Amino acid sequence: MIELHHLTKRYGDKLAVDDLSFRIPEGVVTGFLGPNGAGKSTTMRMILDLDHPTSGEVTIGGKHYAEIQDPLRRIGALLEAKAVHPGRTAYDHLLWLAQSNRVPRARVDEVLDLVGLTAVAKKRARGFSLGMGQRLGIASALLADPQTLMFDEPVNGLDPEGILWIRNLMKRLASEGRTVFVSSHLMSEMALTADHLVVIGRGRLLADLPMAEFIKRNSRSAVRLRTPHQEQLLNALHGAGLTAEAGPDGAWEVVDGDPVVLGELAAAHGVTLHELSPQQASLEEAFMQMTAESVEYRTGSTDEPAPAPAWGAGWDNRRTGKEN
């Protein structure tokens, strides 16, 4: 269990981490999500005591990192995949780590096998691809068989096979009862990996909830209806036991509606429709909406506000009928 209490980090004028408090429990994969510059890496560095909080604190199993004896046995981390001496072989890198942390030599072969690097164990790290570098970083994190694991953007730059491998590894580690904390800026990836979700933007906590809850709230489908005959449409819907929500631009949205049924209903009541369109908000859109205010860097092409999903933070405010 990792616990953050009002964790704050300031670099000069820049508030990189702003009063973060949350817990990362055992036995589940906790996804740590935020756009670039949100403060994810800074938070992870503070957990490992590589950076000192301006205020607040963070503990691992109730202790500060600096108080932990044999920290590699308690927490393993992949922060910077290329943090390996380029002239060292994968085997020598792991052996050096094992010997300096009183880990038996036999464990080096075990973790090389676990991450699929046995065949290239005697190759120097400078010739490693990004994926091999990530696997070596993960082998280092797993070397002392720690109870807590932390991975900063582990799927960055990996091919689909590598992504699937990391995803399954995280799940397996969590199922063994470990604490698994993994950062990403991709909601779609986290939706497939994490059981719990912590979202930050500009250093602040935006959400801390089970992934299933996030998906339930943000992946509903709806049908958008637009008509010059609003009153007749609402009456027809009401008569059919359906509720509509006022959508953007004067359109109406029927959550979980069937476009065929709604089209027939409108026709039967002589309601002219100018639009009848099924909508499906993606989780990525919901995440972008949640963090839209806190995106630090934008390219020209994404300079527009993040696309609004059919429903987002203000979804409940637009509700007009009773929940169906």
Rg over CA atoms, the chain:
24
Q: Which stretch binds ligand ATP (CB under 6 A): 21-29, 39-47, 276-284, 313-321?
A: 39-47
Residue 106: Cβ within 10 Å count: 8
In the block, tokens 């963070």 appear at 58
- Judge whether 197 and 46 are in contact, CB under 8 Å: no
* Residue from the set 16, 132, 136, 254 that interacts with ligand ATP by CB under 6 A: 16
201 touches ligand ATP (CB under 6 A): no
Supply 49's token pair.
């005591």
Mapped onto helix, strand or coil, the DSSP state of residue 200 is strand
* 158 vs 240, beta carbon nearer ligand ATP: 158
* 42 vs 148, beta carbon nearer ligand ATP: 42
185 touches ligand ATP (CB under 6 A): yes
Supply 182's token pair.
């993994």
User: What's CA 117's distance to the chain center, in Å?
Assistant: 27
* 183 vs 279, beta carbon nearer ligand ATP: 183
* Residue from the set 31, 39, 53, 71 that interacts with ligand ATP by CB under 6 A: 39
Supply 215's token pair.
């998906």
Alpha helices (H) along 21-100 = 40-47, 71-74, 90-100
- Judge whether 207 and 214 are in contact, CB under 8 Å: yes
Residues 291-310, mask of contacts with ligand ATP (x by CB under 6 A):
-----x--------------
* 41 vs 140, beta carbon nearer ligand ATP: 41
CB of residue 68 to ligand ATP, shortest distance in Å: 23
Ordered DSSP codes for 271-322:
---SEEEEEE--HHHHHHHHHGGG-----GGG-SPPPPPSS-TTGGGGB-S-
Q: Give which of 290, 168, 173, 200 is closest to 19, Cα–Cα.
A: 200
Supply 235's token pair.
């009456």
11 touches ligand ATP (CB under 6 A): yes
CB of residue 17 to ligand ATP, shortest distance in Å: 7
40 touches ligand ATP (CB under 6 A): yes
CB of residue 261 to ligand ATP, shortest distance in Å: 44
320 touches ligand ATP (CB under 6 A): no
Strands (E), 144-283: 148-152, 179-184, 196-201, 204-210, 221-226, 245-246, 252-255, 275-280
What is the distance between the alpha carbons of residues 292 and 271, in angstroms, rounded to a whole number? Answer: 37
96 touches ligand ATP (CB under 6 A): no
34 touches ligand ATP (CB under 6 A): yes
Residues 132-171, mask of contacts with ligand ATP (x by CB under 6 A):
----------------------------------------
* 14 vs 105, beta carbon nearer ligand ATP: 14
With CB under 6 A, what is the number of residues at the site for ligand ATP? 13
* Residue from the set 36, 272, 302, 324 that interacts with ligand ATP by CB under 6 A: 36
30 touches ligand ATP (CB under 6 A): no
- Judge whether 289 and 309 are in contact, CB under 8 Å: yes
174 touches ligand ATP (CB under 6 A): no
14 touches ligand ATP (CB under 6 A): yes
Label each residue of 175-195 as H, E or C: HCCCEEEEEECCHHHHHHHCC
38 touches ligand ATP (CB under 6 A): yes
Residues that bind ligand ATP (CB under 6 A): 11, 14, 16, 34, 36-42, 185, 296
